[in-house]
Structure 1
Amino acid sequence: MSVHRSRLTRLTRLSALAAAAVLVTAGCAVGTQDPDSSSGGSAAGVGGTLVYATGVPDHLTPGRQTVAFDQVMSLFAPLVEVDSSNNISYLQAKSVTSDDAQHWTITIRQGWTFQNGEPVTAKSYVDAWNATALSTNAFENSGQLAGIQGYTDLNPSKGKPKTTTMSGLKVVDDHTFTVTLSKPDSSFPLQLSQAQTGFYPMPESAYKDLKAYDQHPIGDGPFEMTGDFTPDKEFTVKKWADYKGSNVAKVDAVTFRPYADTNTAYTDVLAGNADIVFLPTGKMTSASKDFGDRLHSFDAPGIDYLGFPLWDKRFSDKRVRQAISMSIDRQAVNKAIYGGLYAPATALTPPTMQGTPTGVCGQYCTFDPAAAKQLLAEAGGWKGGTMKIVYPGGLSLDSLYKAYANQIRQNLGIPNVVATPTTDWSEYWQSLTDSTVAGPHFGHWGALYVSQQNTLRALFTTTGGCTLCTGKYHNDEVDAMLAKADAATSTDQAAQLYADTQKVIIGDFPVVPTFFDKYSYVVSDRVGQLPASAGSPVITGITLTKS
């Protein structure tokens, strides 16, 4: 079950991130903030309860959640944290070390407990990682642990696993455990950071009833539950008095309020009935007027692109794909659709990731309709009838994909290019799964840790879990280069090797990079400081100016 279980994990995550990407399309340059900055107001704050408007969460078990990042990160502490400059600092871990990038020793801090009084030990991590990886538990974040030796034993391609533990995990003592990876990976410490919730620990009491634990998780983080969790009901977490981390919360409590319609959430924040919400698409044009400097946009680890059905002979010549890319006026789209908020993509990973090469896409990501027409002619012209630009319906992407279709039609001289929505995300994904997608299509990747590795692995290797999004692209040279980068002895060396890999992928041009993402939020006039990391607010650092 290793292949399809880990793939399902990544696909589930992708669909959640895709929905987030759709929301991020709503933005305005007014009020844009640097990732380390915050809104004005009192730094100290007044405590109080922050009302956080969210989508409807799925699970609160760290190994299961796919759309409840903020909720789970408020309840648990990661081993390491990564700041907006991609610097690692230790939180629950005391150290994470390796001499060869394959055999790792993790030492955790002493004195930490879960919110029920159980000590947090090395065994707490090993047991939780094994439970998350075990195929019969069907935890959605199982794939985050796929690099650990023995993962395939817990996820056999056929039948049930014959073991419940990964051979690559060993408890040394109460505060030390070792991790052996299936191959060297210098980015492993980054994978232990806050958004990779599959690496969080759980107390022994969780395994008595995992379903009950999902309704009332017990963590080791800055907040604790005050009641049970029901997905479509709001719930409150309160500041945990015995939290051992240095990132102590500035507010007394957070109420997570789920909304099926983010436009309603936006209205509630504007009215002061809620305090913060991810900016919905439909409010792009009104956000700056409504909120002024209470609209915040943060650099994010995400990229948008157009994928292709590479198995379709109409798109098998890379010159056709390059011509389509050159026919898109990214600056005009950015102004018309994103209010100038986004940045046109010039690489396969966003600049928030260490070592992302500048301008690696070169002329092929530069608007040049004359050169695009010539390139298409050199490829034999377009002889495929109507070109359909496919995207998931129901996610407010219509104006964006109509803009793409219009530009491709006008600038390449193709008579019939149409934006074609599916009924919903499920139908869209099924068209990728069945290899029936009709043409260039929606693509987005939002990385969960700030390394080129995460994006390049996911999209451009057959084991990455999302090659369906990139036309089942495969290149043995790319695989070998990524393996070499993974095994690098320093993050600087790894970053350069990942950048070199991008050059090879761009040489094949399997996708059209379109935009680097920013994540945007609007807040009520109660919010003072709004710090962010990797594009998302840091809940423990948010302050309120009035209760």
Structure 2
Amino acid sequence: MRGTARTVAVAAMSAVALLAAGCGSGDSGGDDTSAAGGKTGGEITVRGCNPENPLVPSNTTETCGGNVIDAIFSKLVHYDAETAKPTNDLAESIDTTDNQNFTVKLKQGRKFHDGTEIKAKNFVDAWNYAAYGPNGQSSGYFMEPIEGFGDTQCTGEGDDPCAGAGKAKADKLTGLKVVDDYTFTIKTSEKVSNLPVRLGYSAFSPLPDVFFTDPKAFGDKPVGSGPYKLDAWNKEQSIVLSKFADYSGDFGGKVDKITFKIYQQSDAAYNDVIANNLDITDEIPTSALIDEKYKQDLPDRNAEKETGVIQTVTFAPTKVDPNYADPKIRHAISMAIDRDTIVKQIFNGTRQPATGWVSPVVDGYKADQCGEWCKYDPAKAKALLQEAGGFKGDKITLSYNADAAHKDWTEATCNSIKQALGVDCVATGVVDFATFRTQIGERKMKGMFRTGWQMDYPSIENFLAPIFKTGASSNDGDYSNPEFDKLLGEAAAEQDAAAANSKYQQAEALLATDMPAIPMWYGKTTMGWSDKVTGVKITAFGTIDFTSVAVK
């Protein structure tokens, strides 16, 4: 799902100086939680950022909005904070005998924040809305495995693909049926071995009846189903949540109120944590990572955990910028990036250089899928660029959202590319994440741009299909390879997990040939908190576990 908005602020030293100076030590290690305990009640503040879209689960594909969605919406499945293992939440059971026909039974008595009961129709209606092309939901792609998805899509071209003959044939998925108030069935077009695992992702959240009366108004003040409800969204300033009194699930939180304070720079949030003016920041600025300064600033108030997150650099679609169309040019740029030095000197070892496109924390990960293309070799990189006829543009560009701490590493990356290839490379900041993602989504972003991925569910498939499958919702580079798509389909049909993983690994290997995006590093999330809170835990997704955090 989520193109991450992981914000790390600008360090005091320039990226060029850091890349040359040799500052920093190794991996900081560390625990992934603070001490347990704390009282029930009270309120906390956490670092937030501007959501790209209104807060509708099926239209939220980034962490700024996703962190809020996850707190206010329950799903059929809940992922364990420590291991990401799925367990039933709203679902009483999810059964299948053939991996194609699934029966979902709901727990009775669970409520939306408006007091109405969560029923089978709330899932079926929500998923149909997400799938229907004219609704333009960015996570509608996740409904693709369900029978009838193709007929809900617009087939025209141009500015309005839903006009005239391109109009969708149906507004409902034939694979969804309401059996009774607490039972519905799912039929997929083909066998999907990991469908139950996927159903904890936010796009599969139920929606109350009130949503369908005014979806636009709902996005500004959503009525959720989770342990917290939204009280206020003060645009550009804060998002305020409070505990839902009638929540009867197993994953409620201890604190009564959570306020996401929206920051433009993460060093400002970090300084507020040090001063106890902010309770939790889920990002440590690069300036504080150098020599593990954050451990001195926040002794016993920090944690680090390997998470299902990857940072990549994506090439603009060829129609948008043909200068990067040749895979040899893409390979040359990748080989010109000194990942090891950047991770050591910019992030102080709190990242792991990537050797492929799948996070090591998920089952199915295979090391070194990128091969030589992800190994720093300036001589080979320059030779390969010359073999491709050289770079045709004026300069290589790498864009990033300026409200996050990507300035240092993008500048260091460009410096490495420039030194290796002899081509000017410029890191270019875009004002904020929402603007940045809008430019990418509207295919106005040229050159290269940073992309991050936080897993939606713990599966190798989640690092491949939503990002690189033809037409996928997060396929920012418009990558398309029929063989890649075919292997994904074959993997999804496999009954045996090992056989499925093998197919997914074969698909990932094709990315090395085409290089639609450059793997940079795998994520480790580092957090810090004030002396007012305890029980801070980092989930396997790199987010704050709101079930455990408490006021001292």
TM class, shorter-length? 0.7 to 0.9
Deviation at 1:144, TM superposition (A): 3.1
Instruction: Give 1:203's aligned residue.
Output: 208
Map Cα deviations across residues 445-469 of structure 1 (whole Å, 9 max, x no partner): 3332232222212332222234442
Which of these residues, 460, 469, 478, is aligned with residue 468 of structure 2? 460
| Structural mapping, 1:330-341, within 5 Å | 330-341=339-350
Matched residue pairs, number?
518
Instruction: Give 2:45's aligned residue.
Output: 51
Contact 2:309 2:359 in 1 (8 A): yes
CA RMSD, Structure 1 to Structure 2 (Å): 3.4
Contact 1:391 1:397 in 2 (8 A): no
Which of these residues, 534, 543, 546, is aligned with residue 550 of structure 2? 543
> Does 2:489 align with 1:483?
yes
Deviation at 1:385, TM superposition (A): 6.8
> Does 2:65 align with 1:62?
no
Which of these residues, 509, 519, 522, is aligned with residue 516 of structure 1? 522
Instruction: Give 1:126's aligned residue.
Output: 124
Map Cα deviations across residues 25-66 of structure 1 (whole Å, 9 max, x no partner): 9899786545xx3112x4354432222231234534433445
CA distance in structure 1 between the aligned counterparts of 2:136 and 2:397, rounded to whole angstroms? 34
The 1:68–1:33 alpha-carbon spacing in structure 2 relative to 1, beyond 3 Å, is: farther
Deviation at 1:481, TM superposition (A): 0.8
Of 203-212 and 165-174, the range deviating more from structure 2: 203-212
Of 113-122 and 429-438, the range deviating more from structure 2: 429-438
> Does 2:444 align with 1:450?
no
Contact 1:55 1:259 in 2 (8 A): yes
Map Cα deviations across residues 227-278 of structure 1 (whole Å, 9 max, x no partner): 4544346454333343222223222332333344544333332222221123
User: 3-state DSSP class of the match of 1:63?
Assistant: helix
Contact 1:30 1:293 in 2 (8 A): no
Instruction: Give 2:512's aligned residue.
Output: 506
Contact 1:145 1:151 in 2 (8 A): yes
Which of these residues, 88, 91, 105, is aligned with residue 89 of structure 2? 91
CA distance in structure 1 between the aligned counterparts of 2:25 and 2:177, rounded to whole angstroms? 49
Contact 1:262 1:280 in 2 (8 A): yes
User: 3-state DSSP class of the match of 1:68?
Assistant: helix
Instruction: Give 1:146's aligned residue.
Output: 144
Which of these residues, 173, 182, 207, is aligned with residue 189 of structure 2? 182
Of 258-267 and 506-515, the range deviating more from structure 2: 258-267
The letter of the residue matching 2:127 is W
Instruction: Give 2:531's aligned residue.
Output: 525
Instruction: Give 2:283's aligned residue.
Output: 279
Structure 1 stretches lacking a partner, 5+ long: 1-9
Deviation at 1:350, TM superposition (A): 1.2
Deviation at 1:523, TM superposition (A): 1.0
CA distance in structure 2 between the aligned counterparts of 1:366 and 1:432, rounded to whole angstroms? 30
CA distance in structure 1 between the aligned counterparts of 2:438 and 2:219, rounded to whole angstroms? 28
User: 3-state DSSP class of the match of 2:413?
Assistant: helix
The 1:118–1:300 alpha-carbon spacing in structure 2 relative to 1, beyond 3 Å, is: same
Contact 1:153 1:161 in 2 (8 A): yes
TM-score, length-scaled by structure 2: 0.82
Percent identity (aligned):
29
User: 3-state DSSP class of the match of 2:488?
Assistant: helix
Of 497-506 and 399-408, the range deviating more from structure 2: 399-408
Map Cα deviations across residues 379-431 of structure 1 (whole Å, 9 max, x no partner): 3663647541332363553432332233233334x2x3222526557578758
Deviation at 1:93, TM superposition (A): 0.9
CA distance in structure 2 between the aligned counterparts of 1:174 and 1:44, rounded to whole angstroms? 39
Deviation at 1:183, TM superposition (A): 3.1
The letter of the residue matching 2:226 is G
The 1:507–1:171 alpha-carbon spacing in structure 2 relative to 1, beyond 3 Å, is: same
The letter of the residue matching 1:62 is P
Deviation at 1:339, TM superposition (A): 2.0
> Does 2:335 align with 1:326?
yes
The letter of the residue matching 1:480 is K
> Does 2:34 align with 1:76?
no
CA distance in structure 1 between the aligned counterparts of 2:500 and 2:73, rounded to whole angstroms? 29
Instruction: Give 2:252's aligned residue.
Output: 248
Contact 2:38 2:533 in 1 (8 A): no
CA distance in structure 2 between the aligned counterparts of 1:394 and 1:87, rounded to whole angstroms? 34
Contact 1:28 1:338 in 2 (8 A): no
Deviation at 1:375, TM superposition (A): 4.7
> Does 2:288 align with 1:294?
no
Structure 2 stretches lacking a partner, 5+ long: 12-23, 156-161
Contact 2:417 2:425 in 1 (8 A): no
Which of these residues, 11, 14, 38, is aligned with residue 33 of structure 2? 38
CA distance in structure 1 between the aligned counterparts of 2:222 and 2:429, rounded to whole angstroms? 37
Deviation at 1:192, TM superposition (A): 1.3
CA distance in structure 2 between the aligned counterparts of 1:287 and 1:343, rounded to whole angstroms? 19
Contact 2:270 2:285 in 1 (8 A): no
Which of these residues, 217, 221, 224, is aligned with residue 219 of structure 1? 224
> Does 2:368 align with 1:353?
no
Deviation at 1:322, TM superposition (A): 3.1
CA distance in structure 2 between the aligned counterparts of 1:215 and 1:423, rounded to whole angstroms? 24
The 1:443–1:68 alpha-carbon spacing in structure 2 relative to 1, beyond 3 Å, is: closer
CA distance in structure 2 between the aligned counterparts of 1:198 and 1:308, rounded to whole angstroms? 26
Of 335-344 and 23-32, the range deviating more from structure 2: 23-32
